[in-house]
């Protein structure tokens, strides 16, 4: 009898229980996702604008951060001419870097580096020697007027310039200190205690010596010029002084004793050489050098460098109070140079009047203390 066998289909209990568990969990997650999805009407809108919104927020944040923290300072190269800009506005010029390098005892160069695109342009500008202006002053009615006038003149002089004001007395006066602080000029305010001595012939001599001692002590390298506060000076004078190498002199215009005519006193020149002297005062013809105190200037190194003043290298150069009146200039110059061969004519030919000595001082003139009125003026009209 033939036997017939049928292939039995796999029964459910032959499947692995683990496979049944995975299928049920996947089905469960799929059902949960379908429940969280938005309605079919808003689903395409979210897919369409989600990516642009994210990009907009990203670039907005980046731009905000770049605005707060720039990577570097931007330099704009504006090649503007000063003649085409009203008043030569300095704010429109490109930034410059200035370095000073001393190249000789009497000359400096100012190296300016200017950025122009991807290249740097360098130029050298000559800077003259320091001019040291020494001014003795004392308390009087016209002191404020004279110092203000001289301060306004010195403000117009090209730098570098140092104004040494020597005031007579033990301490500085508040009025002079305030005036100098507002002058806009680089200055040093000194005092001369010997000024109050009763046995002095010329108090200005000791005030100038105080300045000379200060310059020698601090080794101030420049051209020294004695400028009294009651004189009148041209701007060209200070430009000429800056060019002096050792000792320079020039003629000075002044009023005669009667103040009825003007006279000249100073050197007679042939080009750059001093060949003689001119004076109108017979009492001063015995002097070696006929020049006013404001008619010469000299290099400050003569005060401390013995090689430059070999004829008096053993002595300190100072003005003398023991000589007769009118001889302070010549006795002082004799300590600086031996003769006219060591002098320079300023300007060449000595054909210009660069300053005026007027002698217009009014004595015993009352004035308000500190130049301030404590009470109002009375109305007379």
Structure tokens at 165: 């004001």
Closest CA to 349 of 249, 239, 216: 249
In whole angstroms, give the CA distance from residue 268 to residue 171.
42
How remote is the C-alpha of 128 from its chain's centroid?
14
Residue 43 · residue 37 · CB < 8 Å: yes
Which of 146, 112, 141 is closest to 126 using CA atoms?
Answer: 112
CB-based burial, 318-352: b 16+ in 10 Å, e otherwise:
bbebebeeeebbbbbbebbbeebeebbbbbeebee
329: annotated active-site residue = yes
Residue 298 vs residues 30, 58, 212, 248: alpha-carbon distances, Å: 104, 73, 12, 6
Sheet arrangement for strand 131-137: 187-192, 161-168, 131-137, 223-226, 296-299, 247-249, 344-345
Strands in the chain per DSSP E: 96-104, 107-116, 119-127, 131-137, 161-168, 187-192, 223-226, 232-233, 247-249, 252-255, 262-270, 273-278, 296-299, 344-345, 355-357
Residue of 329, 338, 344, 372 marked active site: 329
What does the DSSP 8-state code read for residue 260? S
How far apart are alpha carbons 380 and 376 in whole angstroms? 12
| Joined tokens for residue 219 | 């080794």
3-state secondary structure of 299: strand
CA atoms within 13 A on the CB side of 133: 28
* Catalytic (active-site) positions: 329
């Amino acid at each position: 009898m033939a036997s017939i066998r049928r292939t039995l289909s796999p029964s459910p209990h032959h499947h692995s229980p683990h496979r049944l568990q995975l299928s049920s969990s996947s089905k469960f997650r799929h059902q949960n996702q379908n429940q969280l999805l938005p309605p079919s009407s808003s689903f395409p809108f979210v897919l369409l604008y989600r990516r642009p919104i994210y990009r907009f927020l990203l670039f907005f944040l980046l731009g905000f951060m770049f605005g707060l923290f720039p990577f570097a300072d931007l330099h704009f190269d504006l090649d503007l001419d000063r003649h085409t800009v009203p008043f030569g506005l300095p704010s429109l010029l490109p930034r410059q870097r200035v370095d000073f390098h001393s190249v000789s005892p009497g000359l400096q160069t100012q190296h300016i580096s200017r950025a122009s695109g991807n290249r740097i342009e360098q130029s050298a500008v000559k800077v003259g020697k320091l001019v040291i202006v020494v001014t003795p002053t004392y308390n009087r009615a016209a002191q404020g007027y004279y110092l203000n006038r001289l301060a306004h003149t010195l403000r117009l002089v090209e730098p570098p310039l140092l104004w040494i004001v020597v005031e007579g007395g033990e301490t500085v006066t508040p009025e002079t200190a305030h005036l100098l602080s507002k002058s806009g000029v680089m200055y040093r305010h000194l005092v001369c205690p010997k000024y109050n001595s009763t046995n002095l012939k010329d108090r200005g001599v000791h005030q100038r010596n105080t300045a000379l001692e200060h310059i020698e002590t601090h080794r101030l390298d420049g051209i020294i010029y004695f400028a009294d506060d009651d004189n009148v000076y041209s701007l060209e004078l200070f430009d000429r002084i800056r060019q002096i190498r050792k000792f320079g002199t020039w003629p000075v215009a002044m009023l005669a004793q009667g103040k009825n005519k003007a006279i000249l006193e100073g050197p007679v020149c042939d080009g750059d050489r001093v060949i003689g002297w001119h004076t109108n005062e017979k009492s001063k013809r015995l002097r070696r050098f006929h020049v006013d105190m404001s008619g010469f200037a000299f290099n400050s190194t003569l005060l401390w460098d013995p090689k430059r003043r070999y004829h008096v290298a053993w002595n300190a150069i100072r003005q003398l109070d023991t000589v007769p009146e009118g001889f302070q200039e010549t006795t002082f110059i004799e300590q600086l140079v031996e003769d006219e061969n060591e002098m320079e004519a300023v300007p060449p030919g000595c054909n210009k009047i660069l300053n005026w000595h007027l002698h217009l001082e009014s004595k015993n003139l009352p004035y308000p203390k500190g130049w301030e009125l404590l009470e109002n003026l009375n109305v007379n009209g």
